[in-house]
Amino acid sequence: MGLSWLNQLHLLAVIWGLGGLETPAEAVLCYEIFDKTSGSCGELLGDGVSQEDCCLNLQYGFRLQKDAPCEACRPAAWSDWSPWTPCSVSCEEGTQQRSRTCYGQGDCEQGPRQWELKPCGLGACCPVMGGWSAWSAWTPCSVTCLKGVQTRERTCTNPAPECGGTCQGSKSETQSCDTRQVCPTHGNWGSWGPWGACSATCTPEGSGPKPRQQRRHQCNNPTPSSNPPGNQCPGSDHEFQTCAGLPFCPQDGNWGSWKPFSDCSVTCAVGRQVEKRVCNSPAPKYGGKSCPGPDTRSLICNTQVPCPVDGHWSEWSDWSDCTRHTFQGKIECQEIPGFQRRNRRCIGRAHDGKRCPGDQLELRNCYNVKSCLMPGTWTDWSPWDLCEPACGQNPMRSRKRECKPNYPNYLMNIPGTGKVTNTSFWGKPLPVCEPLEKQRLRVLEKAPCQNVLPCTD
């Protein structure tokens, strides 16, 4: 069973240091984000924060050590259900699983973890493999001289696959082919020789350009063939250029001092504060290197103020009995309207958090049909229920048909308006149906779940 709200408040008081205990604060790794689905931490704030300060915001999470699991600051609550796993089979009938986990301080109802298992089916038939046709003829060689490749293909039609099946193996093959013909060789220049050296690699403004020259090697990379004849090398075998436009010599940059760039990111609990620096001491010039490293950094900041916790509604109470105190006599099984009420509580609000929106009390008119005999009608078969047990041997599924009462066509007038609202019937009537499979109220059918997935932990 989960902790009562009073016990949860006591637990939070211990966490927040309100219980009067003078135990030493334990340093934890504090995170801005606790993922309610996966139970993981994100956005590390710092590793020198006490658990008490970290949990001033109940939306935060923490780790006791670097490799320890993430824990939520909030009171214990169930995570959302995980997505259903893929069906255990690709055809006919199998099963799917989903789970949820209890995260937070304290315990959730129904144990630390809960599973659900349901039947599934992804196709009415299973794949049937096909067979290959005979290979086609080889294509012509891909080149007209020297060696190339040629291919051939086949189709998955002998027989064709069924229900999503395929053929094993490749639909094409490739082999080399030799034309036994010599290709012509075209001439190409050898590599350029080195430029003559300039007097400097960088220069101050005002220096004049200086000439340098390079030449090509002979037309021998490769030499053009004579039979069959190849083309000669194009263009000139030499080239000139000057050393004009040499760049100024580079000057590397250096960081200035760190300066505050923002206030603390939060007004409660623990947050971040950003500092910034500028690469201007000096700034880089003429292609010099920029300053290494980031220009901003985050520091942890602690407001020492607990964050507001908004209130949330408890579950509605059951509707009260349908009664009419001003009426002398019984209203059961008659077209005499009565009245009902139900209420709920606003729980969990702390540190000036928002109050619960909406009404705390609901009223409605009703007709009392408790234990009243009524003609009934058998429902159609319900959908199949989840497989039970979700983690265990031989899970079963079930569906049912039920004898449901045919409620009378009573109307409910709203006094003073002339309007008619929906009728509310209260109490469990006694429906009367013709027997079905020797049953008068419910017919139940059970079947085993097929291809059951094993539980992971």
Residue 455, pLDDT score = 80
Only one residue has tokens 């020198």, namely 48
- DSSP strand pairing (361-368 vs 425-426): parallel
Highest mean pLDDT among 29-38, 106-115, 217-226, 425-434: 425-434
- DSSP strand pairing (270-276 vs 346-347): unpaired
- Distance from C-alpha of 86 to C-alpha of 221, rounded to nearest angstrom: 62
Residue 312, amino acid: H
- pLDDT tens for residues 355-372? 999 999 999 889 999 999
pLDDT at residue 22 greater than cutoff 60: no
Q: Classify residue 205 by burial, with Cβ atoms within 10 Å: 0-12, 13-18, 19+.
A: exposed
Please, which pLDDT band fits residue 113 given cuts at 50, 70 and 90? confident
The whole-number average pLDDT for the span 342-365 is 93
- The answer to whether the beta carbons of residues 418 and 78 sit under 8 Å apart is no
CB atoms under 10 Å from CB of 117, counted, come to 24
Only one residue has tokens 């436009």, namely 245
For the chain, report the end-to-end CA distance as a whole number of angstroms: 22
Q: Across 169-279, where does the E strand assignment appear? A: 172-178, 211-215, 238-242, 259-260, 270-276
Residue 12, amino acid: L
Only one residue has tokens 């080239």, namely 239
Residue 21, pLDDT score = 38
pLDDT at residue 181 greater than cutoff 50: yes
**Token pair listed for 434:** 């013709």
Please, which pLDDT band fits residue 373 given cuts at 50, 70 and 90? very high
Q: What 8-state DSSP symbol labels residue 203?
A: -
- The answer to whether the beta carbons of residues 270 and 300 sit under 8 Å apart is yes
- DSSP strand pairing (373-378 vs 346-347): unpaired
The domain defined by 5-75 folds into: Extracellular Matrix Fibrillin (3.90.290)
- Distance from C-alpha of 172 to C-alpha of 154, rounded to nearest angstrom: 6
Q: Give me the residue spans of the domains in the chain.
A: 5-75, 259-302, 312-448
pTM strictly above 0.75: no
- pLDDT tens for residues 388-408? 888 888 899 999 999 999 998
Highest mean pLDDT among 4-13, 172-181, 222-231, 418-427: 172-181
Note if the bond before 294 is cis, omega within 30 degrees. no
- Distance from C-alpha of 15 to C-alpha of 58, rounded to nearest angstrom: 11
Please, which pLDDT band fits residue 137 given cuts at 50, 70 and 90? very high
- pLDDT tens for residues 405-438? 999 888 776 556 666 666 789 999 999 999 999 9
Please, which pLDDT band fits residue 205 given cuts at 50, 70 and 90? very low
CATH number for the domain whose boundaries are 259-302: 2.20.100.10
The whole-number average pLDDT for the span 108-121 is 81
> In what side-by-side order are the strands of the sheet with 77-78?
77-78, 92-103, 113-123
- Nearest one of 309, 256, 310 to 278, comparing CA atoms: 256
Please, which pLDDT band fits residue 213 given cuts at 50, 70 and 90? very low
